[in-house]
Chain A
Amino acid sequence: MSNLRQKILILYSRTPDLNSEIGAWAIYDGTGREHHTTGDSDTPPYPSVLAAMRDGWRVMQFPQQFPAYPGMELTTSYLRFEYILEKMEEVENG
């Protein structure tokens, strides 16, 4: 088994622009070194998706953009601009 483990950073951008400010975020750390839970920080880890990329995070998923379903144009639901980023980090005794 490889010694690399995946760390996931999910950034919810305020617009589809990767320079846009972040409205919400989550971190899931496959190395086990960090543990994150709801409400554990009040400040985004990066000011934008691009700032995270500059720190070595690779973008794994771009949010696709769909036109609103007829009748749902004025409905809000999930956060729409969800960028999933990853880093691969080494662990000991992997």
Chain B
Amino acid sequence: MVEKRYLLTSVQMANFAADGLLRFDELIPEAINTEARREVEEGLISLRYEYQGQPLANAWPDSQGFGAMIRLPEVRGIIESLVGPNPLYDHHAFHKVGPGHLEGQIWHADAIIDTRLHFDIQLFYFPHDTPREMGGTMFLPGSHFRRIHETDIARYQNFVGQMPAVCKAGTLFVAHHGIWHCAQPNRTDRLRTMFKLRLNPTVRQKLLWNTDDLQDPQIPGILSRNHRWYGNDDRIEYVNRIRFWRFLTGDERWDMGYWLTRIENTPERVVTQQEA
């Protein structure tokens, strides 16, 4: 187990529930970024999947770049907060976008339509500076609960509130498996690389983070964040977040804005003659 000080807070978890995404700017030290870039350039980390379903702890034990990144206590704290101790390696990929590649990737969510409340996470690690002209990955905050299958959303091009991963070297984005995203064009003369790693939980994802601030009054407001692109579906999005927060905390009566409490109220008690 990682030390408590490295775990996420409840406020951060609420942001994950609302956005489906957390960003950690320049979290990874430059020494690891440099080594990670060298591992890509020299092909020291295989592009092929490792054995899927193995403990993450087995992955790249000698790597001083990508392996060292996932062993950093700061990164382990993020991982343990979301998917718990001893997660499984699902797959990894080096996403490379060559210089002068002007076509954006189509919008998609990874894998297949997924109806679980349990969730996987995906790490998006940028080992070099990624200015807007270089891409990077475009995310759609708040899209993670939408039930769609992979590139079924490819007709869309732009959304109000879409967020490009414009960042400095060593920045890590951690996303819910359902987040909509797409690689962006690279208008520079340099190769862009992003390392993606998907992890599966092996434990019930309940109160795994630092819960000292579980009653923080900011949390209902965070979970009510309106990303604006979904318009009239906003209240249904809030309901999905309430359900997710109940799942994360184990509190099956938790609510905000009375959204679920109201429609769960189906009293059956018959009025007695004395009450009538």
Q: Are B240 and A38 in contact (CB under 8 A)?
A: no
Contact A20 B147 (CB under 8 A): no
Shortest CB-to-CB span from B139 to chain A, Å, is 10
Q: How far is the CB of B239 from chain A (nearest CB, A)?
A: 5
Query: Nearest Cβ in chain A — how far from B75, in angstroms?
Result: 27
Mark out the residues of chain B between 127 and 183 whose CB falls within 8 Å of any chain A CB in the assembled complex. 138, 145-148, 152-153, 155-160, 162, 164, 182
Name the residue in A27, A37, A41 with the highest tally of chain B Cβ atoms < 10 Å from its Cβ: A37
Give Cα A38–Cα B157 distance, bound, in whole angstroms: 4
Would A38 and B233 count as touching, CB distance under 8 A? no
Number of interface residues of B (CB under 8 A): 34
CB < 8 Å: which of B105, B155, B228 contacts A23? B228
Chain A residues with CB under 8 Å of B159's CB are 23-24
Q: Within 8 Å CB of A75, what residues of B? A: 147, 236
Q: Does B107 contact A (CB under 8 A)?
A: yes
Residue of A whose beta carbon sits closest to that of B154? A38
Tell me, in angstroms, the Cα distance from A42 to B146 when the chains sit together: 22
**A1-42 near B? 1/0 per residue, CB < 8 Å:** 000000000101111000011111111000000001111111
Q: Is B237 an interface residue (CB 8 A)?
A: yes
Q: Which residue of A10, A20, A24, A26 has the most chain B CB atoms within 10 A of its CB atom?
A: A24
Question: Do A76 and B107 have beta carbons less than 8 Å apart?
Answer: no
B106-129 CB mask vs A (1 if < 8 Å, else 0) is 110000000000000000000000
- Pairwise interchain contact B146-A26, C-beta atoms closer than 8 A: no
Whether B146 pairs with A76 at a CB distance below 8 angstroms is yes
Any chain B CB within 8 A of the CB of A80?
yes
User: What per-residue 1/0 map shows which CB atoms of B232-252 lie under 8 Å from chain A?
Assistant: 110011011000000000000
CB-CB < 8 A to A22: which residues of B? 160
In contact, A77 and B146 (Cβ under 8 angstroms): yes
Of all chain A residues, which has the CB nearest B229?
Answer: A23
| Distance to closest chain A CB from B115 (angstroms) | 9
Q: Which of B102, B145, B232 contacts A81 (CB 8 A)?
A: B232
Q: Is the CB of A77 within 8 A of B148?
A: yes
Whether B105 lies near A14 (C-beta < 8 A) is no
Q: Which of B147, B182, B231 has the most CB of A within 10 A?
A: B231
Interchain nearest-CB distance for B100 vs A (Å):
14
| A24 CA / B154 CA spacing, docked (Å) | 13
Within the assembled complex, what's the spacing in Å between the Cα atoms of A23 and B231? 7
Instruction: List the interface of chain B (C-beta within 8 A of A).
Output: 102-107, 138, 145-148, 152-153, 155-160, 162, 164, 182, 184-185, 228-233, 236-237, 239-240
A15-B231, A24-B229 known; 5 new pairs, CB 8 Å cut-off, are A24-B160, A26-B157, A38-B157, A39-B162, A78-B152
Residues of A within 8 A of B (CB): 10, 12-15, 20-27, 36-42, 44, 74-81
Query: What are 11 residue pairs bridging A and B, where the CB atoms are less than 8 Å apart in the complex?
Result: A12-B156, A23-B160, A24-B156, A37-B102, A37-B104, A39-B158, A40-B157, A76-B145, A76-B237, A78-B153, A80-B233
